[in-house]
């Protein structure tokens, strides 16, 4: 199965502060990373693959469409934004790493960028919690949510991480 994204470029740009002129080639790798790191781990492999198969076949409807449009889409846009923030400023070419600068703006300091990223993470965690709550309260609508086993990723029902666990 080819790689299927649960959001479009327009959804990502319309739902975040990413400017419309940012090329999708710079965003796509981080959407993929966010989808694997945050979406598959919350859905579990079976539900994740069911949604991918339905999207490919053009048969995503009903409760599954609601899940993707109203819950996964909101969560994924913000996690993708979170993942791409550190890298949008840099470009790797011919063995060198370049820092892009703007003629009309001033780059954020490291602390300002960290603060921005923390705010994006807070929003991402909010939408992740909404997804988890929806799935837990409606798990009978999504039988694949409880069937992952073996080497599959099982759904993680924990969202917030507050430091080190001892």
Q: What is the pLDDT of residue 103?
A: 66
What's residue 91's pLDDT? 73
Domain count within the chain: 1
Residue 58 domain-assigned (yes or no): yes
pLDDT means over runs of 10, the chain (166 residues): 83 87 86 95 95 96 97 96 85 76 70 88 95 95 90 79 56
Q: Alpha helix (H) ranges present in 16-166?
A: 24-34, 40-43, 45-57, 62-66, 73-84, 110-137
* Paired residues of 97 in beta bridges: 92
Residue 151 in any domain: the answer is no
Structural domain harbouring 72: 9-145
Closest CA to 49 of 86, 84, 1, 111: 1
* pTM (predicted TM-score): 0.85
Question: Is 162 part of a structural domain of the chain?
Answer: no
Residue 164 lies in a domain: no
Length of the chain in terms of residues written? 166
The answer to whether position 89 is within a domain reads: yes
Give the span between the Cα atoms of 65 and 76, in whole angstroms. 15
Tell me if 69 is assigned to some domain: yes
Sort residue 4 into left (φ over 0), alpha (ψ -120 to 50) or beta. beta
Q: Which residues of 125-161 are buried (b: 16+ CB within 10 A; e: fewer)?
A: bebbeebbebbeeeeeebebbeebeeeebbbeeebee
Cα maximum dimension of the chain: 54
């Amino acid at each position: 199965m080819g790689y299927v994204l649960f959001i479009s470029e327009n959804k990502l740009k319309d739902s975040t502060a990413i400017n419309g002129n940012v090329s999708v080639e710079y965003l796509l790798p981080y959407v993929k990373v966010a989808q694997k790191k945050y979406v598959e781990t919350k859905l579990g492999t079976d539900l994740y693959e069911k949604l991918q198969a339905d999207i490919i076949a053009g048969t995503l409807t009903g409760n599954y469409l609601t899940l993707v449009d109203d819950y996964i889409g909101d969560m994924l846009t913000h996690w993708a934004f979170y993942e791409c923030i550190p890298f949008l400023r840099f470009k790797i070419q011919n063995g060198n790493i370049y820092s892009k600068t703007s003629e009309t703006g001033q780059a954020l300091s490291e602390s300002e960028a960290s603060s921005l990223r923390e705010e994006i993470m807070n929003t991402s965690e909010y939408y992740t919690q909404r997804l988890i709550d929806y799935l837990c309260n409606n798990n009978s609508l999504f039988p694949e949510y409880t069937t992952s086993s073996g080497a599959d990723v099982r759904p993680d029902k924990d969202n917030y991480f507050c430091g080190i666990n001892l």
